[in-house]
Amino acid sequence: MKKYLCGDAHEAEKNIPDDNIASELADFLKIFADMTRIKILYALLDMELCVHDIATILNMEQSAISHQLRLLRQYKLVKVRKEGKSSYYSLNDSHIHEILIRGYEHISE
Amino acid sequence: MKKYLCGDAHEAEKNIPDDNIASELADFLKIFADMTRIKILYALLDMELCVHDIATILNMEQSAISHQLRLLRQYKLVKVRKEGKSSYYSLNDSHIHEILIRGYEHISE
DNA sequence: TGAACGTATGAGTTAATGTTCATATGTGTG
DNA sequence: CACACATATGAACATTAACTCATACGTTCA
């Protein structure tokens, strides 16, 4: 597996995560790397909201919000509670809450 | 600015970052949310590398690597040092180093 | 100075992602 | 039951982003 290298780069190779890990990490970060989803998550920071209200607050179509909420659900970032005609979304656990708070700190540096 | 809401969602509005902040945060996260860039960053974790070696190690075209390095440069995640024919890249500061270490911890949960 | 090597970059192609539109499903209400 | 409202979802469309290809630029060395 020897390859031609300018420097002693084999050392560096050890730190590179393999494809599975790297893409898993990339996918996880991708969910947060979208303005709409960021806004949704921060909207849910300390209260649950129904789809209609999220759409209203963000001034976006209900459909767009639903699509994004599906993604957030799939990645277990939010959970749903159905009551009557509405679906109420909230952050899935305090871990997500913590990540968002950290994000805020980081951006305000 | 009153809008129709099912619940008391105006509370939630306060937590939503405005467009500038949200897109800045999204853009920042987008850089990390890509497998190639993740690998590059981890390759640079504790040594500088020239473009050719990064391409070789990651088994990718030099051009693709250069394009990604340009992005990483623009966002100040890496810095360059030119020596002779080569450009040696390294992480820009220990802050980035710390973020990457955290990322590793997170993914191994 | 010309050839080889290392890197950067614009253009084109393709793949992935986000939004809209149309519509289906489900729930409450007159 | 018929209708309105809330949500979900597939398909079409638009945008973005990553890679390849071709090529230019800069450096070294014969």
Q: What is the interface pTM, i.e. ipTM, of the complex?
A: 0.86
> Is B13 in Cβ contact with A57 (below 8 Å)?
yes
Among all residues of chain A, which has the CA nearest to that of B25?
A: A107
Burial classification of residue A79, based on how many CB atoms lie within 10 Å of its CB (0-12 exposed, 13-18 middle, 19 or more buried): middle
Which nucleotides in chain C have some atom under 7 angstroms from a protein Cβ?
Answer: 5-11, 17-23, 26-28
Query: Would you list the domain boundaries of chain B?
Result: 35-107
Span A76-85, mean pLDDT? 94
Closest CA to A91 of A69, A59, A108: A69
Q: Report the pLDDT value the prediction gives residue A97, as an integer from 0 to 100.
A: 78
| Nearest CB to B107 within list A12, A24, A56 | A24
Among all residues of chain B, which has the CA nearest to that of A4?
A: B56
Neighbours of A61 (CB within 10 A): 10
State pLDDT tens for residues A22-80.
999 899 999 999 999 999 999 999 899 999 999 999 999 999 999 999 999 999 999 99
* The dihedral sign for the CA sequence A62, A68, A72, A74: positive
Q: Is the CB of A70 under 7 A from strand D?
A: yes
A67 CA → C20 C1’, Å: 12
| Nearest CB to B56 within list A4, A23, A30 | A4
Nearest nt to the A66 alpha carbon by C1': D8
Calpha distance B39→B62 (Å, rounded): 14
State pLDDT tens for residues B28-45.
999 999 999 999 999 999
pLDDT band at A2 (very low <50, low <70, confident <90, very high): very low
> Is A9 in Cβ contact with B49 (below 8 Å)?
yes
Q: Report the pLDDT value the prediction gives residue A93, as an integer from 0 to 100.
A: 81
Which nucleotides in chain D have some atom under 7 angstroms from a protein Cβ?
Answer: 5-11, 17-23, 26-28
| Nearest CB to B45 within list A15, A44, A50 | A15
The tokens for B47 are: 């040594």
Q: Report the pLDDT value the prediction gives residue B1, as an integer from 0 to 100.
A: 33
CATH placement of domain A21-107: 1.10.10.10
Question: For residues A97 and A71, which has the higher predicted lDDT (pLDDT)?
Answer: A71
The tokens for A45 are: 């920071």
Nearest nt to the A31 alpha carbon by C1': C17
Run means of pLDDT, 10 residues per run, chain B, 109 residues: 62 90 91 96 94 96 98 95 96 80 67
CATH architecture of the domain covering B35-107: Orthogonal Bundle (1.10)
Q: Is the CB of B67 under 7 A from strand D?
A: yes
Rg (CA), chain A: 19
B84: left (phi over 0), alpha (psi -120 to 50) or beta: left
